[in-house]
Structure 1
Amino acid sequence: MKKSLTIALLGLILALTACGQEEDTLEQETAEKPKTEENQQETEENNAEKNAQSEKETTSIVKNEFFEPFKGTIEHVHGLGYVGNQGVAFFASHDGLKLFDGNEWYKTKKENNDYMGFNATANGFYSSGHPGADSSLPNPIGIQKSYDFGKSLESIALEGEVDFHLMGVGYDNNVIFVKSPHKSSIMEENKFYISEDEGSSWREVPAKGLNGEIISLAVHPNDENLMAAAGKEGIFLSSNKGEEFRLLTNGAHGTSIFFTKGSLIYGAYNEEPMLIKRSLTDQSEKEIKLPELNQDAVLYFAVNPQNEKEMIFISFNGDIYLTVDGATSWQLIADDGNLK
């Protein structure tokens, strides 16, 4: 059932604080005269090249035996992104990863964990959360990373100690920025920390100016100085590794944040939902056209790094929209979490 944005936003804040096709190869016989050894070798090399290219074009991540077709409902999504530069959108839900390849939905067969603080990266993903029924991970899982789409997970930090709902990770640089929900063996409660060596070491950052309830964090894909946050007070940006933040918006709730190499794309709500693309060079802003959202707003958003005209988002009410033409048009692919 659809709910008002105010209720959905409040619910999210409370949750954060509470815890291609294969093609057959056709062989044709010809009446050509026998080839010389040189011509035969050239033909074999050409065929090998064509076969390799054909295999490359038809190989898809969703053909991996770790995935299977999925029909049903996606609930409690806590992050999305294009994992491993594969051009496939991953959704982190309370019962494992769900994938959309532009046409069909898939799910993971194992490690169906309750993922929180999910971040896609160029090599895989980072996440926190709780183990699923089929997982041997401790509860909570701390910070884990995967380079094989979730089939195996490697502990980064605080396994068995912390469930991070607020975590940002740079797509290419793997810089991790978190807010600690409670005291642990290496962090203090409600403090911000950064790791520039994939969790081997951490240092606290003051995050001056970052006020109010925060619902999401983000790190620039390449520039470790740039970090952003979205929350009840608006959208915040830091250019010095989280030491200080400045408020970019005025009078609007911040709902989502996403970095491309040249811009910060953020969602906000002030009586109407907005999606804004802000240049990181001249700070100019341009509104991205949204589909009609009734008492709703963008919750998680991502751009395909292989094609910036392809964008995808999930709303607070669980509607999922995809565009492949730079937001000229949007396709509804899930309505209130129900797959179309």
Structure 2
Amino acid sequence: MPLNQTLRRALPLGLLAAFTLLAACGDAAITLMHVHGLAFSPDGQRLSIPSHHGLAIYSAGHWSKATGPEHDYMGYAVTRRAIYSSGHPAEGTGLTNPFGLIKSSDDGHTWQQLGLQGESDFHLLASGFENGAIYVFNSHPNSRMNAPGLYFSLNEGVDWQRASAQGITEEPVALAVHPTDSKTVALTTNAGLYLSRDAGEHFRALSRSEEALGLAFSMDGNSLWFGSYGNAAKLSKVELATGKVTSLGMPELQEDGIAYLAQNPTQLQEWAIATFKRDVYLSQDGGKSWSAIAKAGQTLE
């Protein structure tokens, strides 16, 4: 059975694919209960985790809750100029549920609705760091998408185009957009890692040896980093120019795998990974070694 399906059965409902954020009064530690994404801020100073109750922030060795509304953020993409997300409004805000597509230009303090509110909740949402192209996997038709499938927008959700996604036969597990080329998009399924160079019309397999999980393009656009699971969890990168796959170092995980990856845009040797079982790790040397900043949802400082 694929790892993500195994974890869905093994973990309580809601503990997969989102870290609910809990924080007691005073200086009590933040507990991560669920994960819907992972990203560094454009200045490289903060690592953010979208959660069921707002954003958790790791900066300068310390965890905190971000200021701003404690929405349930589903799907999460940080770009040079904005954050894009989806999900559900915090209780008492009076906002339409679900959000559809939302945007923040001030680090998540305030959010602007870009459409499809009350219609769609995009669990798989990705955007190019420099190009701003937004890709989503839509599970149900809505007023701008007449069928389920992979869609992209080049104007912040005003217009959407459906990609035929030829070569993909299973529902995507994760999605990533090239930082500069809006037509280059990658996704993972239980059958492997796939890449498209024509805005999702055709995909070719880059790796089909085992189940592929979380993925991210490197900031230079030359490689894809991805987690996978066979007999154990693995972290690898594939060079886009040659297709060469290289295994990278990673923490030892027990029946767990990499759900999300992120690279620091200003310190390119720094990477972060988050696992399905709520571990979060940082590497300062391009994936050769890793240090834990959260274990089983318990944050570490």
TM-score (ref. length: structure 2): 0.88
CA drift of 1:7 comes to 2.0
SS at structure 2 position matched to 1:160: coil
Match runs of 1:1-340 below 5 Å: 6-8=5-7, 71-260=29-218, 261-340=221-300
**CA RMSD in angstroms, aligned pairs only:** 2.0
- 1:27-58 deviation line (CA, Å, top 9, x unaligned): xxxxxxxxxxxxxxxxxxxxxxxxxxxxxxxx
- 1:131-178 deviation line (CA, Å, top 9, x unaligned): 112534310001111111111111122122110111111111110111
- 1:198-217 deviation line (CA, Å, top 9, x unaligned): 21211111011112132211
C-alpha contact 2:279 2:292 (8 A) present in aligned 1: yes
C-alpha contact 2:193 2:205 (8 A) present in aligned 1: yes
CA drift of 1:122 comes to 1.2
| Identity over aligned pairs, percent | 35
CA drift of 1:329 comes to 2.2
1:35 equivalent in structure 2: none
C-alpha contact 1:321 1:334 (8 A) present in aligned 2: yes
Cα distance in structure 2, aligned partners of 1:200 and 1:273:
39
Cα distance in structure 1, aligned partners of 2:293 and 2:284:
13
SS at structure 1 position matched to 2:269: strand
CA drift of 1:11 comes to 7.5
Cα distance in structure 1, aligned partners of 2:65 and 2:93:
16
C-alpha contact 2:30 2:64 (8 A) present in aligned 1: no
Asked which structure has the greater RCO (Cα within 8 Å, sep 6+), the reply is 2
| Residues matched between the structures, number | 284
User: What is the letter of the counterpart of residue 131 of structure 1?
Assistant: P
The 1:11–1:152 alpha-carbon spacing in structure 2 relative to 1, beyond 3 Å, is: farther
Structure 2: segments with no counterpart, 5+ residues: 15-25
CA drift of 1:5 comes to 5.9
- 1:60-99 deviation line (CA, Å, top 9, x unaligned): xxxxxxxx97722112211111133343111011111011
> Which contiguous aligned blocks of 4+ residues in structure 1 show a shift greater than 6 angstroms?
none
CA drift of 1:197 comes to 1.6
SS at structure 1 position matched to 2:270: strand
Cα distance in structure 2, aligned partners of 1:219 and 1:136:
33
SS at structure 2 position matched to 1:248: strand
C-alpha contact 2:74 2:85 (8 A) present in aligned 1: yes
User: What is the letter of the counterpart of residue 121 of structure 2?
Assistant: D
Cα distance in structure 2, aligned partners of 1:132 and 1:244:
38
Cα distance in structure 1, aligned partners of 2:230 and 2:207:
10
Cα distance in structure 2, aligned partners of 1:158 and 1:274:
37
Cα distance in structure 2, aligned partners of 1:219 and 1:84:
16
The 1:243–1:11 alpha-carbon spacing in structure 2 relative to 1, beyond 3 Å, is: farther
C-alpha contact 1:318 1:337 (8 A) present in aligned 2: yes
Instruction: Point out the more displaced range, 166-175 or 323-332.
Output: 323-332
C-alpha contact 2:40 2:265 (8 A) present in aligned 1: yes
- 1:242-282 deviation line (CA, Å, top 9, x unaligned): 00111222241111110122111111111111111111222
C-alpha contact 2:45 2:59 (8 A) present in aligned 1: yes
C-alpha contact 2:214 2:259 (8 A) present in aligned 1: yes
Structure 1: segments with no counterpart, 5+ residues: 16-67
- 1:89-137 deviation line (CA, Å, top 9, x unaligned): 1101111101111400111233111111111111231100001125343
TM-score (ref. length: structure 1): 0.79
Cα distance in structure 2, aligned partners of 1:125 and 1:11:
32
Q: Whose helix fraction is larger, Structure 1's or Structure 2's?
A: 1
Q: Whose strand fraction is larger, Structure 1's or Structure 2's?
A: 2
